[in-house]
Structure 1
Amino acid sequence: MAEAPSKARRPRADAERNRQRLLDAARSVFARDGAAASLEEIARTAGVGIGTLYRHFPQRDDLIEAVYRQAIGQLGEAADRLSESEAPVDAIREWLLLFIDYMATKRLMAEALNSLDGGASRVYAGSGDIMREALGRLVRRAEAAGNIRPVADPFDLLRAVAGIHYVSPGEDWEPGARAMVDILIAGLRPG
């Protein structure tokens, strides 16, 4: 008698919690210690054993990549959530502020990301598309509501905000980027 095909099982709730705790701890420890961050320290910070870390992330690169992919995925999900809960212009503003948080995480994790086998470009692939689509949905919604002027390329808003990071690469770039968001929003409003 043939075996029934097995269904893909969803991870147990405690396994999902442990994975999330590991990602949170890794983001923090990599930001603090860079590429030299100890996996044992990440497990300890997460409150799990090293075996649990390796069950979820068999290689160091898997963990670094998962932290980055989670951050970029959260940006995409935030656009939908903000679109449902905020007025169109407020949704754009809040999303751009989340983008600044993403940039801060990416900056803090740069050393770890650059330590990936083959470099970080493989991990970054597709990130621009996620951001472009997420912000594009918010901008088109605000345009349709008549709350902002037409925007030829919503990605220009990201370039303006990210540009602050590159022009002022020191520790003090975030206040300037947050101020740029308000300048951009004011400039988008009709009238």
Structure 2
Amino acid sequence: MTRPQPQPRTGRPLRADALRNRLKVLEAAEEVFDARGTTASTEEVARAAGVGIGTVFRHFPTKEALLEAVYVSRLCKLAEEAEALTSAEDPGAAFFTYFTRVVGYAATKNALSAALTEAGVDVPESGQGLKQALATLLSRAQDAGAVRGDVGLPEVMALLVGASQAAERAHGEVRDRALNVVFDGLRAHR
């Protein structure tokens, strides 16, 4: 799965300099929203990107458009990471690494989703590509004997949602221990 080019919805390709600015704004927005939450201002994003506020609004006419672009970018990154891990040498490690990564992204993803929903924007689904890659990771880990065979994708998705919500409330060592409990339940015990 390749990450879609961050072109505007007009369908017209951007000049190289405009595309660079759009990417800078999008990357800065991810960092700012990660650090300060979705209530951070577009002015903060512009400063972090090293561009003027006009440049931000030229690419993202509203803050909601910027939030949506960050959300979609985050989902694309997660799908890419899952797909890259599907060919890992150690399928069990790949599955648990990805599970941990998704949980790590959860707080920002959930905050973005809530902000978009509150603004009346339809939140894009996680996507079939993400679920397909996760299913492949699960299947490979099960075939390698690292994950119990009686666990399906619906259970893994439910555990991911629960662990992600728990991670928003528990940080650091507590979050890590909680994940280990989940992983102990998923591991195949010989």
Q: TM-score, normalised by structure 1?
A: 0.74
Q: How does 1:1-191 map to 2 (within 5 A)?
A: 11-109=14-112, 112-116=115-119, 118-119=120-121, 122-123=122-123, 125-127=124-126, 129-167=128-166, 169-170=168-169, 172-173=170-171, 175-186=173-184, 187-191=186-190
Query: Contact (CA 8 Å) 1:34, 1:112: kept in 2 or not?
Result: no
The structure with more radius of gyration: 1
2:20 is matched by which residue type in structure 1? Answer: R
Give the whole-Å Cα distance in 2 for the aligned partners of 1:44 and 1:52: 11
Give the 3-state SS of the residue equivalent to 2:86 in structure 1.
helix
Question: Alpha carbons of 1:160 and 1:178: their partners in 2 closer, same or farther (altered >3 Å)?
Answer: farther
- Is the contact made by 1:68 and 1:106 (CA closer than 8 Å) also made in structure 2? yes
Q: C-alpha displacement at 1:144, in angstroms?
A: 3.0
**1:182 maps to amino acid:** N
Equivalent in the alignment of 1:4:
none
CA contact (8 A) 1:83 1:91 kept: yes
SS across alignment from 1:78: helix
Indicate the RMSD between aligned Cα atoms, in angstroms: 3.0
AA matched with 1:66: A
Q: 2: CA distance between counterparts of 1:182 and 1:16?
A: 42
Q: 2:189, 2:106 → 1: CA distance?
A: 29
- In the TM superposition, what whole-angstrom CA distance separates every residue of 1:79-124 from its partner, at most 9, and x where no partner exists? 11112244100110111111012202224546633442x15xx21x
> What 5-or-longer segments of structure 2 have no aligned partner?
1-10
| Number of positions where the alignment pairs a residue of Structure 1 with one of Structure 2 | 179
Answer yes or no: is the 8 Å Cα contact 2:167–2:175 preserved in 1.
no
Identity of aligned residues (%): 35
Normalised TM-score (structure 2) = 0.75
> Does the CA-based 8 Å contact 1:76-1:131 persist in structure 2?
yes
Q: For 1:62-92, what per-residue CA distance to the aligned partner results, in whole angstroms no more than 9, with x for missing partners?
A: 1110101111111111111112244100110
